[in-house]
Amino acid sequence: MAIIHHTTLSPTKLELLTRWLPSRPWYRAGEAASEAAGGEQPVLAKVGGFRLEDPSGEVGIEFMAVTDSAGGEPVAYQTPMTYRAAPLAGAEDALVGTLEHGVLGKRWVYDATRDPVAVAQLYALLTGRAEAQAQSRSDTPDRTVRVRAATDVPLQDAGTGAVHDGKRSTDVTLVLPVEGSLWLRFLRVPPAHTVPETTDSAAHITVGWTAPDGAPRHGLWCALIDSRE
Residue 134 lies in a domain: yes
pLDDT for 226 beyond 60: yes
The pLDDT value given to residue 73: 82
The pLDDT value given to residue 31: 54
Report, as an integer, the average pLDDT of 39-68.
Answer: 93
Residue 4 lies in a domain: no
pLDDT for 32 beyond 70: no
Total domains in the chain come to 1
Range of the domain at 59: 9-226
Residue 167 lies in a domain: yes
Comparing 113-117, 180-184, 205-209, which segment has the lowest mean pLDDT?
180-184
pLDDT tens, residue by residue, 126-151: 999 999 999 988 789 999 999 999 98
pLDDT for 206 beyond 90: yes
Residue 3 lies in a domain: no
Tell me the average pLDDT of the chain. 86
Q: Using CA of residue 142, residue 64, residue 136, residue 133, what is the dihedral sign?
A: positive
The pLDDT confidence band at residue 224, using thresholds 50, 70 and 90, is very high
Residue 2 lies in a domain: no
Residue 218 lies in a domain: yes
Report, as an integer, the average pLDDT of 47-71.
Answer: 94
Q: How buried is 78 (Cβ within 10 angstroms: 0-12 exposed, 13-18 middle, 19+ buried)?
A: buried
Residue 160 lies in a domain: yes
Residue 192 lies in a domain: yes
Q: β-strands 169-175, 159-165: how paired?
A: antiparallel
